[in-house]
Chains A and B, each alone.
Chain A
Amino acid sequence: MTAKLTLRNGIAAALLIALALLPVYVQVMHAPFLLTLFTRIIILALAAVSLNLILGFGGMMSFGHAAYLGIGGYAVGILAHEGVMSGFVQWPVALAASALFALVIGALSLRTRGVYFIMITLAFAQMAYYVVSGIARYGGDDGLTIYKRSQFVAPVNLSNKVQFYYICLLLLFGTIYLVWRLVNSRFGMVIQGSRSNDTRMRAIGFPTYRYKLTCFVIAGTLCGLSGALLANHTDFISPSVMYWTRSGDLIIMVVLGGMGSVVGPVFGAIALLVLEEVLSGITEYWQIILGPMLLLVVLFARGGIDGLLTRIGGKEQA
């Protein structure tokens, strides 16, 4: 995959540069609100990129991806609640907990395929939701306030909004790069091969179950990172971040942005969250517009934004 200068790649590059320069704009225009919004967008974009690894490239339709947002977030929240403030402890625990959950869920769910897989991942994520809602010690339904963000060594201070924004952005870039490398590696080829024809991949000797499970765990872990960031961003964590509609939002981001490419979900996250912001400014009942729009996207705009840009660019995607 050599990066050619197509319209799509141009826009992707422009977008990434724009994201990098956003704090400057915020500073000049005095619009701190934008910084908060885009920090959130970037964090959820990271989750969407991780979902795309299994959904777009692996063909595993997980409808429970938001569970890792909650697990990553609660790892940070619970540790902070118990007095462990160091990010060097909190974040690895968040990642490990997400990885472990993904391993268990994946090992069970990957025994099935298709609709079963959708429903099972959904059901397990809901289970996690109910379990967390039931733990009164950590706020139950009401959630858990995080009084202090994760502590790192001296120059790094997550409470500084601009610094936090850049940390999130760097992590997003890192994730995109990681996923891009993964997808184009031998491992990624096996995963994509198994999406197209699992039986054939097994026939030529690949233990696809193990490959898919590994991929599932990687995606879950990355999403756990996003959860840890989200908890730090909102200074709060509640079961609602792992509610199944949140998993639906993540799928929307991936499909809206385009499943065929690594950066697609970033387009999708920006489009969905900005759209939400704009629509909710117009009417209180904005979901009445968003719902049918989704249906229309499904019916008429295959390949999402990324596919659209590729088609306008008039070149086949590399």
Chain B
Amino acid sequence: MGRPLRAALRRHEQELVLALAAAALCTVGVAPFASLLVREGTAWLNASTPLVSSGALSLLLRSLVLSALVTLLALALGMPLGVLVGRTDVRGLWPASLLHAFPAFLPPFLLALGWFHLFGVSGLLGSEATSRALFSDVGVVFVLALAFTPIVTCLVALGIQGVDPGLEEAARVVAKPSRVVTRILIPAAAPAWILAAIVIFTLSFSELGVPMFLRVDTFPAAVFSRLGGVDYAPGEALALVLPLVPFALLLLAAERRFVGTRSYAVFGLRSRRQDRLGLGRWRPAASAALWLAALLSVAPIAALAWRALSGGGLAEAGRWMGRAPWNSLSSSAVAATAIVGIGLVVGHATARRLRGAAALDSAAVLAFVAPAAVLGIGLISLWNRPALQWVYGSTGILVVGYVARYAVIGVRTIGSLIAQTPLHVEEAAAAAGAGFWRRLTRILLPLHARGVGFAWLLALVFCLRDLELAVLYYPPGGEPLTVRLFTLEANGPESVVAALAVVQVTMTAAVLGAGGFLLRRRAT
């Protein structure tokens, strides 16, 4: 390579690396939609009538209302729990917090199955009335809110831990602890709980498995009916997605307005330890509330375990499991690594407000918010080509889909981490002759190794719990465990399905346990 070329490459290293990451992000996350648009020609433009005429609009409103209720309930439960976990001397803090948080890492469909074993007519605590309530709008809100509450709890807990201790100490001189919490800590942690609200609203709006299982019609079901019904109409499905675009942009604007780069505090990386607020005579009641939340969180998992054990499903699970757990783990691990790689470059660009970074960030958010069914069909349209058979015909296509949908996790998490690092650290390295790639891998990555590890773990778990996307295009014989659970649920013995759910739970717990252990070791 000639010296001038090398010099030019070095001069434009940052732009080149960013262009490569952007190309990767667009290939997996944007191109599927573009491919679908091109393949469908103008069919999607002409397909706007079903949106108005078939009641899809009322389903859209209904889904918005249900998602808002899920979000409000999760906030109502999660904010006080977050304060208890984050800043008080509640009893049994760690075990209760872990139990409470764990279901957030499982597919909500699996939790719905657990609640069915508890409150279905023939469930452990079931009656006709409980079953009627479960299989209704109320049931959907209940199941999803309990599944997502830990997101609020965790973000609020980490958020208030990140609040400047000086503020709190000053307030405690003149105010009671309750006033400190409501007037100082919660407002100061607003970026954290607003972020939680946006995430929960998005997750519940795009959720398909739980409403379908509980027989409640929602907007994603309307989109799905254009792709899963007899008259396969991807153009109409695409037309139905259109109203979501301004809606997603609105969410994005809200997130930028209220959270922005201030979300750094939620990663709990402050070094200064703060004294926990003493609850005094309220301590037993507060502890009971936290443990009640923990028990509610694990109740559906316990019901699944009970069903698996009582029906002999665990003994049969090996026969029905196949390679599905391995398919899940291998594809999720590779996808999480790619997500972190893209997140490192694009997250850096968003943190430093580089040109084009906001557009890439928006693309990642839109791929996350768009109905998984449309993204899935777009992936088939783009990747099912003879030249790409090595990807499409293997579990590689699962990796592509996961990266497309969950790249936002890497971009946002790592972007927030890098935003904490003063710019002059990078400037000093650049002045000493370090190129962009070197600064990224030798300075920023080691500085935030723990946070990047956390982002990898988070991305891995999100990929592991994915169902809606993978079910549309999983490679023959290469289905992840969530898909196998879903397809076996039809007429499969209940105890075997419950046992496979227990395997999914165990796999997720093992991954989180091992990841948590490694991250803690790194911290000490």
- Do A and B make up one complex? no
